């Protein structure tokens, strides 16, 4: 069976079976997702101007053809990125960075995962510390942490 990934909004994305991802993405509280040359992009930032600046930086990075997690590392290490969280999906993988805004990881099922802002539900979310990049693919999650100037905000 093939896994798929999707970003549902600025604070929610999933990787898993197509039905799991579709169910997870179908929530009324989710806003639109930016499309960037085959990538779905969800950004949680304080202002629309900040979100626009992040999309513009990602558009430049997208041209390099990097894997999702590498693109996020380049985004936060080579740009002045405000406190935010960014989710990227390409249909096969999902990557996210908690860059001063909280994110958490949730196991939806056997090797199926969601990443986003923890919901008020009975599911067990694993918080990601500030500066954490998480890369989800069919082999499961890989996490690594970068020094983040927003760690104390």
Q: What does the pLDDT average to over 111-123?
A: 81
pTM score, whole prediction: 0.93
Rg of the chain over CA atoms, in angstroms?
A: 14
Alpha-carbon distance of 5 to 66, in angstroms, equals 17
Query: Residue 76 belongs to what H/E stretch?
Result: helix 68-78
Cα dihedral sign, 9-12-18-22: negative
Contact 33, 41 (CB under 8 A): yes
pLDDT digits (tens, 9 = 90+) for 8-49: 888 889 999 999 888 887 765 666 689 999 999 999 999 999
Alpha-carbon distance of 8 to 44, in angstroms, equals 12
pLDDT digits (tens, 9 = 90+) for 48-84: 999 999 999 999 999 999 999 999 999 999 999 999 9
Alpha-carbon distance of 42 to 98, in angstroms, equals 12
For the chain, the first-to-last Cα distance in angstroms comes to 42
Per-residue b/e over 51-63, b at no fewer than 16 CB within 10 Å?
A: bebbeebbeebbe
Query: Residue 56 belongs to what H/E stretch?
Result: helix 48-62
């Amino acid at each position: 069976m093939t896994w798929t990934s999707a970003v549902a909004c600025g604070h929610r994305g999933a990787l898993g079976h197509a039905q799991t991802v579709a169910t997870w993405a179908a929530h009324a509280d989710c806003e639109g997702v930016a499309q960037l040359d085959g990538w779905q992009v969800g950004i949680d930032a304080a202002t629309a101007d900040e979100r626009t600046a992040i999309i513009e930086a990602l558009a430049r990075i997208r041209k390099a053809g990097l894997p999702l997690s590498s693109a996020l590392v380049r985004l936060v290490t080579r740009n002045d990125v405000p406190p935010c969280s960014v989710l990227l999906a390409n249909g096969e993988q999902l990557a996210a960075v908690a860059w001063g805004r909280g994110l958490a990881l949730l196991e939806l099922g056997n090797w199926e995962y969601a990443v986003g802002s923890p919901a008020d539900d009975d599911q067990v979310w694993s918080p990601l510390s500030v500066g954490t990049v998480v890369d989800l693919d069919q082999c499961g999650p890989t996490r690594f942490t970068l020094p983040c100037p927003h760690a104390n905000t």
